Protein backbone atom coordinates (compact mmCIF):
# COMPACT_ATOMS: atom_id res chain seq x y z
CA UNK A 1 0.00 0.00 0.00
CA UNK A 2 1.36 3.41 -1.00
CA UNK A 3 0.58 6.83 0.42
CA UNK A 4 -0.83 8.33 -2.75
CA UNK A 5 -0.59 11.91 -1.43
CA UNK A 6 3.20 11.57 -1.43
CA UNK A 7 3.42 10.27 -5.01
CA UNK A 8 4.78 12.94 -7.37
CA UNK A 9 2.63 11.55 -10.19
CA UNK A 10 -0.52 12.00 -8.10
CA UNK A 11 0.49 15.54 -7.08
CA UNK A 12 1.16 16.49 -10.70
CA UNK A 13 -2.13 14.93 -11.83
CA UNK A 14 -3.96 16.97 -9.18
CA UNK A 15 -2.31 20.17 -10.48
CA UNK A 16 -3.35 19.27 -14.03
CA UNK A 17 -6.92 18.67 -12.90
CA UNK A 18 -7.03 22.09 -11.29
CA UNK A 19 -5.67 23.72 -14.46
CA UNK A 20 -8.15 21.83 -16.64
CA UNK A 21 -11.04 23.14 -14.54
CA UNK A 22 -9.74 26.68 -15.02
CA UNK A 23 -9.50 26.21 -18.78
CA UNK A 24 -12.99 24.69 -18.91
CA UNK A 25 -14.43 27.82 -17.36
CA UNK A 26 -13.40 29.62 -20.56
CA UNK A 27 -15.17 27.19 -22.90
CA UNK A 28 -18.61 28.07 -24.30
CA UNK A 29 -21.45 27.25 -21.93
CA UNK A 30 -23.33 25.36 -24.65
CA UNK A 31 -20.62 22.68 -24.33
CA UNK A 32 -21.29 22.33 -20.58
CA UNK A 33 -23.00 18.95 -20.83
CA UNK A 34 -20.92 17.64 -23.70
CA UNK A 35 -17.23 18.29 -24.16
CA UNK A 36 -16.67 20.19 -20.89
CA UNK A 37 -18.23 17.41 -18.85
CA UNK A 38 -16.13 14.78 -20.63
CA UNK A 39 -12.92 16.80 -20.21
CA UNK A 40 -13.53 17.26 -16.50
CA UNK A 41 -14.34 13.57 -15.98
CA UNK A 42 -11.09 12.55 -17.69
CA UNK A 43 -9.05 15.02 -15.69
CA UNK A 44 -10.54 13.79 -12.39
CA UNK A 45 -10.08 10.17 -13.45
CA UNK A 46 -6.29 10.45 -13.65
CA UNK A 47 -5.44 11.23 -9.99
CA UNK A 48 -8.45 9.21 -8.82
CA UNK A 49 -7.21 6.01 -10.46
CA UNK A 50 -3.68 6.60 -9.21
CA UNK A 51 -5.07 6.94 -5.67
CA UNK A 52 -7.36 3.94 -6.01
CA UNK A 53 -4.58 1.75 -7.36
CA UNK A 54 -2.23 2.78 -4.57
CA UNK A 55 -4.72 1.42 -2.06
CA UNK A 56 -5.00 -1.99 -3.68
CA UNK A 57 -3.51 -5.17 -2.28
CA UNK A 58 -0.78 -5.83 -4.80
CA UNK A 59 1.59 -4.12 -7.19
CA UNK A 60 -0.19 -5.83 -10.10
CA UNK A 61 -3.47 -4.26 -9.07
CA UNK A 62 -1.75 -0.88 -8.68
CA UNK A 63 -0.24 -1.23 -12.17
CA UNK A 64 -3.71 -2.05 -13.55
CA UNK A 65 -5.15 1.21 -12.18
CA UNK A 66 -2.12 3.13 -13.46
CA UNK A 67 -2.99 1.75 -16.89
CA UNK A 68 -6.51 3.11 -16.54
CA UNK A 69 -5.10 6.48 -15.47
CA UNK A 70 -2.85 6.48 -18.52
CA UNK A 71 -5.81 5.79 -20.77
CA UNK A 72 -7.59 8.79 -19.26
CA UNK A 73 -4.44 10.84 -19.83
CA UNK A 74 -4.48 10.14 -23.57
CA UNK A 75 -8.23 10.63 -23.74
CA UNK A 76 -7.83 14.06 -22.12
CA UNK A 77 -5.06 15.03 -24.55
CA UNK A 78 -7.40 14.11 -27.41
CA UNK A 79 -10.30 16.10 -25.99
CA UNK A 80 -8.11 19.17 -25.52
CA UNK A 81 -6.92 18.83 -29.12
CA UNK A 82 -10.53 18.54 -30.29
CA UNK A 83 -11.34 21.74 -28.39
CA UNK A 84 -8.48 23.46 -30.17
CA UNK A 85 -9.47 22.12 -33.61
CA UNK A 86 -13.03 23.32 -33.06
CA UNK A 87 -11.59 26.72 -32.14
CA UNK A 88 -13.22 26.57 -28.72
CA UNK A 89 -9.91 27.33 -27.04
CA UNK A 90 -6.58 28.76 -28.13
CA UNK A 91 -3.54 26.50 -28.39
CA UNK A 92 -1.57 28.54 -25.86
CA UNK A 93 -4.26 27.78 -23.26
CA UNK A 94 -3.81 24.01 -23.61
CA UNK A 95 -0.21 23.46 -24.75
CA UNK A 96 1.18 23.60 -21.21
CA UNK A 97 -1.48 21.18 -19.97
CA UNK A 98 -0.76 18.77 -22.82
CA UNK A 99 2.97 18.90 -22.06
CA UNK A 100 2.23 18.16 -18.40
CA UNK A 101 -0.01 15.26 -19.41
CA UNK A 102 2.81 13.78 -21.51
CA UNK A 103 5.08 14.12 -18.48
CA UNK A 104 2.52 12.34 -16.26
CA UNK A 105 2.23 9.59 -18.86
CA UNK A 106 6.01 9.10 -18.85
CA UNK A 107 6.00 9.02 -15.04
CA UNK A 108 3.16 6.53 -15.18
CA UNK A 109 5.01 4.13 -17.49
CA UNK A 110 8.11 4.36 -15.30
CA UNK A 111 6.09 3.65 -12.15
CA UNK A 112 4.39 0.69 -13.83
CA UNK A 113 7.78 -0.74 -14.81
CA UNK A 114 9.08 -0.36 -11.26
CA UNK A 115 6.03 -2.15 -9.85
CA UNK A 116 6.56 -5.14 -12.13
CA UNK A 117 10.15 -5.74 -10.92
Q: Is it the case that residue 45 has pLDDT exceeding 80?
A: yes
CA proximity to 13, closest of 25, 21, 57: 21
pTM: 0.93
On whether the CB atoms of residues 43 and 16 are closer than 8 A, the answer is yes
Cα angle at 78 between 72 and 82, to 5 degrees? 140
Q: Which CATH superfamily is domain 4-115 in?
A: 23S rRNA-intervening sequence (1.20.1440.60)
Mean of the per-residue pLDDT values for the chain?
94
Tens of pLDDT, residue by residue over 65-111, are: 999 999 999 999 999 999 999 999 999 999 999 999 999 999 999 99
pLDDT-based confidence at residue 1 (cuts at 50, 70, 90): low
Domain ranges, ordered by start, for the chain: 4-115
pLDDT-based confidence at residue 31 (cuts at 50, 70, 90): confident
Amino acid sequence: MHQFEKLKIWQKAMDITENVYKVCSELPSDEKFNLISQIKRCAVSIPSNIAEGSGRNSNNEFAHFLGIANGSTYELITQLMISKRLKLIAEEKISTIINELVEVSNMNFALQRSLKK
